[in-house]
Amino acid sequence: MPETANEKKKVIFSAIQPSGTITLGNYLGALQNWVKLQDDYNCIYAVADLHTITVRQDPKAFRQNILDAYALFIACGIDPEKSPFFIQSHVHTHAELAWILNCYTQFGELSRMTQFKDKSQKHADNINAGLFTYPSLMAADILLYQTDLVPIGIDQKQHLELTRNVAERFNSIYGSTFKIPEAYIGQTGAKVMSLQDPTKKMSKSDENVNAWVAILDKPDVIMKKFKRAVTDSDAKVCVGEGKDGINNLIGIMSAVTGKTADEITLEFEGRGYGDFKTAVGEAVIEKVRPIQERFGQLIKNKDYLTEQYRKSAEFALKISQRTLDKVMKKIGYVAK
């Protein structure tokens, strides 16, 4: 019995919001990693569309963004036959458990979330209750699947910490109910910085569109953005202090080609930044070309997408319902 338990692969859960464009930063930092993890773990992935309405969405664009994100992730290599990949709003247990967890999460805890503070500043005209309780929904996403590991960026670490605290609190009141998840540390994805201010993370909310590259940007646009990337006056292609721009470009080059920073430095010895920027642009274009082609086919194939997200949602519901049932029974709800 313990033997089979040991052999069982660990469960990984992660989700990304369908808030428009997916950037090169999202891809190299998170998605590419998700794809690799599929071989060694039981991965469950979701498009976190319930989270997205904490910021007001235009219905037509929102619907398109959800479908685009779904198709794009598959184009990047998420295989729903291997790793259930569903749309969060299709699986009702998420909203239900989120409500319950809200009642086990303190106002003070949620008030300390830095993302809440940031977002309420940014959207001062719409500081809604959902924005405040967003971490409870994220905790529900994770805890419903008895998740072992959660691959997340540094910006989501505080939310995972809260998830762990709430799960431990629940377990200590009612006895073991939730697996306590851990952050996935291991081969972390590349941290891609802004091409215009390489001390900041690459973000699509950056007002300067030259600061970020979208996976679906046309090749000439990608090239233009790399050619304009901010560098330094040192004119040597190598990693170094005060060379944030070049460090970032080397990081990107390394993440898309698999070459090490040393190999890249050697290759560009005696060559200028202009050459290097063009080479990085070309490498990125080559990397996204097959993804863009696949995306173009998938987005036209509505039947395939529908079949996949329905099958995945069915699976996710089955697994998550078990946890929700257990939780409700422990709290004292009357069985249906």
What amino acid positions are annotated as catalytic residues? 119, 201, 204
Residue from 14, 23, 105, 136 touching ligand TRP (CB under 6 A): that is: 14
Q: How far is the CB of 216 from ligand TRP (least distance, A)?
A: 19
Determine if 98 is a binding residue for ligand TRP (CB under 6 A): no
Selection from 223, 245, 239 nearest residue 289 by Cα: 223
Determine if 142 is a binding residue for ligand TRP (CB under 6 A): yes
Confirm if 42 and 9 have CB atoms less than 8 A apart. Answer: yes
Give the sheet arrangement for strand 85-87, strand by strand: 85-87, 42-47, 11-16, 149-150, 182-183
Q: How far is the CB of 52 from ligand TRP (least distance, A)?
A: 9
x/- site string to ligand TRP, residues 246 to 285, per CB under 6 A? ----------------------------------------
Q: How far is the CB of 321 from ligand TRP (least distance, A)?
A: 18
Q: By C-beta, is 154 or 173 nearer to ligand TRP?
A: 154
Q: How far is the CB of 269 from ligand TRP (least distance, A)?
A: 39
Site residues for ligand TRP, 108-127, by CB under 6 A, read none
Residue from 78, 152, 252, 285 touching ligand TRP (CB under 6 A): that is: 152
Determine if 51 is a binding residue for ligand TRP (CB under 6 A): yes
Which parts of 151-272 fold into alpha helices (H)?
157-174, 219-227, 244-257, 261-267
Beta bridge partners of 280: none
Determine if 131 is a binding residue for ligand TRP (CB under 6 A): no
Confirm if 80 and 46 have CB atoms less than 8 A apart. Answer: no
Q: How far is the CB of 244 from ligand TRP (least distance, A)?
A: 24
Region of 134-142, 189-197, 279-287, 302-310 interacting with ligand TRP (CB under 6 A): 134-142
Region of 9-17, 66-74, 116-124, 273-281 interacting with ligand TRP (CB under 6 A): 9-17
Confirm if 50 and 9 have CB atoms less than 8 A apart. Answer: no
Determine if 15 is a binding residue for ligand TRP (CB under 6 A): yes
Pairwise CA distance, residues 207 & 225, whole Å: 14
* CB-based contacts of 194-197 (< 8 A; 24+ apart in sequence): 195/225, 195/226, 195/228, 195/229, 195/230, 195/245, 195/248, 196/228, 196/229, 196/230, 197/230
Determine if 37 is a binding residue for ligand TRP (CB under 6 A): no
Q: Is 284 left (phi over 0), alpha (psi -120 to 50) or beta?
A: alpha
Residue from 49, 68, 141, 217 touching ligand TRP (CB under 6 A): that is: 141
Determine if 17 is a binding residue for ligand TRP (CB under 6 A): yes
- CA quadruple 62, 67, 71, 76: dihedral, nearest 10: 30
Selection from 130, 129, 131 nearest residue 116 by Cα: 131
- Hey, what amino acid is at 59? P
Determine if 201 is a binding residue for ligand TRP (CB under 6 A): no
* 3-state SS assignment for residue 205: coil
- Hey, what amino acid is at 322? R
Number of Cβ within 10 Å of residue 74's Cβ equals 21
Determine if 48 is a binding residue for ligand TRP (CB under 6 A): yes
Q: By C-beta, is 166 or 222 nearer to ligand TRP?
A: 166
Q: How far is the CB of 10 from ligand TRP (least distance, A)?
A: 15
| Contact positions vs ligand TRP (CB under 6 A) | 13-17, 48, 51, 138, 141-142, 150, 152, 156
